[in-house]
């Protein structure tokens, strides 16, 4: 043994890396806008959460892109608009912050 202690965040890197998070944030989809992101794990990010705002026509394709990725985050979809939703918040959790 080298005598250095392994950090907990280093053990999680095989699940989600900074590169995996960047790939998730770089999803470019017409009609979707990343409005917030909070990384988890400093100095070595190993997860995080954020929100995309998506119009109704783009929602299905964004979810399809997320489900076809190598790393699939947990997602929650919240409709906005009365009487018919016209915008959706797609909230994601990835890596060590994921609760489900």
Query: Average pLDDT, whole number, for the chain?
Result: 83
Q: What is the pTM of this model?
A: 0.76
Q: Is the pLDDT of residue 87 over 80?
A: yes
At residue 36 the predicted structure's pLDDT band, cuts being 50, 70 and 90, is: very high
Q: Does residue 13 carry a pLDDT above 90?
A: no
Report the candidate in 68, 31, 32 with the shortest Cα–Cα distance to residue 50: 32
How confident is the model over 39-77, as pLDDT tens digits?
887 777 778 899 999 999 999 999 998 888 878 888 999
| Cα R_g (the chain), whole angstroms | 16
Domains located in the chain, CATH noted: 8-95 (3.30.70)
- What is the C-alpha separation between 20 and 32, in angstroms, rounded? 19
């Amino acid at each position: 043994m080298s005598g250095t202690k392994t950090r907990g965040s280093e053990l999680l890197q095989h699940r989600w890396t900074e590169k995996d998070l960047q790939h998730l944030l770089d999803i470019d989809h017409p009609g979707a806008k990343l409005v917030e992101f909070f990384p988890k794990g400093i100095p070595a990010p190993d997860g995080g959460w954020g929100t995309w705002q998506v119009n109704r026509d783009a929602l299905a394709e964004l979810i399809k892109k997320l489900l076809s990725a190598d790393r699939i985050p947990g997602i929650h979809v919240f409709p906005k608009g009365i009487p018919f939703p016209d915008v959706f918040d797609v909230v994601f959790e990835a890596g060590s912050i994921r609760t489900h």
